[in-house]
Amino acid sequence: MPNFDDTLAYIDRIQKARTPEEVCRALIGVTSRYGLTALLAGTVPKPGTPREEQRSHVMLCDWPKEWMERYVSMNYVDRDPLVTYMKRKPSAVFWHDAIARVGADMEGQRVYGDAGAFKLKDGFAMPLITVEGEVVMVSLGGEEVELSEEAVSVISLASTFAIGRAMQLSTTPVIEHRAELTSREKECMRWAALGKSEWEISQILGISEHTSEKHLLNAKAKLGAANRVQAVAEAIRQGYIS
């Protein structure tokens, strides 16, 4: 299991990527250590979106080419239990759990039956909510998937950072504003990056749990993040955590 220094090294490789393809390869370099060897990330198309237009929603892709072609040609996005799950309750989930939770019909189960033929027998997916409220789904698959809680944390942070980097590369460069965090906000973010809860941070820093929560919320707002994982990723990118 990697320590936090290893995770920072993974993120450094993602940050140095200069194209979405390089971002994709760098992220797969992290996730493949856990049996997740294929990746698709992008916004979720609305039902009935023309097949060719569906491709414009893809931000990062390292799925087998033949599987991607089949997924689009069969219009699987409208029948995929994982997509249905993310629309109903955007939260991290294993593929097999998504199938069970949405009560997938025969057509929905067929999607994953077909995926298995391309060595994608199970996977893990997570949503990333942008500050504009748009949902970006990251779906990672492989032949054998069994993730510990620590592995999920590493994958979630690396994926969040990768999506942020991909979005950076896809927009016109602008003068970047660096968030001005207070010393306490920086300390709280550093401990949050190590997986500490608000209560644990309060005990470490000798402050109240309410105060540690307030510092984290303030840092998240300044960093323009929608949740804690995104805040940690942005704090790393801006050099507050190293």
Q: What is the pLDDT of residues 108-151, one digit of tens each?
A: 889 999 999 999 999 999 998 876 778 899 999 999 888 998 89
The token pair at 47 is: 């039902």
4-170 CATH pick, 3.30.450.80, 1.10.3720.10, 3.10.310.10, 3.20.20.70: 3.30.450.80
Predicted confidence at residue 5, as pLDDT, reads: 78
**Could you tell me which of 181, 238, 242, 237 has the C-alpha nearest to residue 23?**
237
H or E element, residue 139 = strand 135-142
Cα atoms in the Cβ-side hemisphere of radius 13 Å centred on 101:
19
**1-4: long-range contacts at Cβ-Cβ below 8 A with a sequence spacing of 24 or more?**
1/148, 1/150, 1/151, 2/33, 2/154, 4/193, 4/194
More confident residue, 15 or 170: 15
Residue 104: per-residue pLDDT: 82
> Per DSSP, what are the bridge partners of residue 94?
124
Answer for the pair 7, 162: CB distance below 8 angstroms, yes or no. no
Look at domain 183-237 and name its CATH class: mainly alpha
- Whether pLDDT at 224 is above 90: no
The ranges assigned to domains in the chain are 4-170, 183-237
Condensed to tens digits (0 to 9), the pLDDT of residues 27-50 reads 999 999 999 999 999 988 887 888
Q: What is the pLDDT of residue 184?
A: 93
Which pLDDT belongs to residue 176? Answer: 53
Which pLDDT band, with edges at 50, 70 and 90, does 180 fall under? confident
- DSSP state string for 101-123: HHT--HHHHHHHHHHHTTT--EE
Query: If pLDDT is split at 50, 70 and 90, which confidence band does 2 have?
Result: low
Torsion of CA 84, 85, 91, 96, to 10 degrees: -130
Distances (CA, A) of 73 to 63, 96, 188, 199: 15, 23, 48, 50
Position 177 scores a pLDDT of 63
Tens of pLDDT, residue by residue over 63-99, are: 999 999 999 999 999 999 999 999 888 899 999 999 9
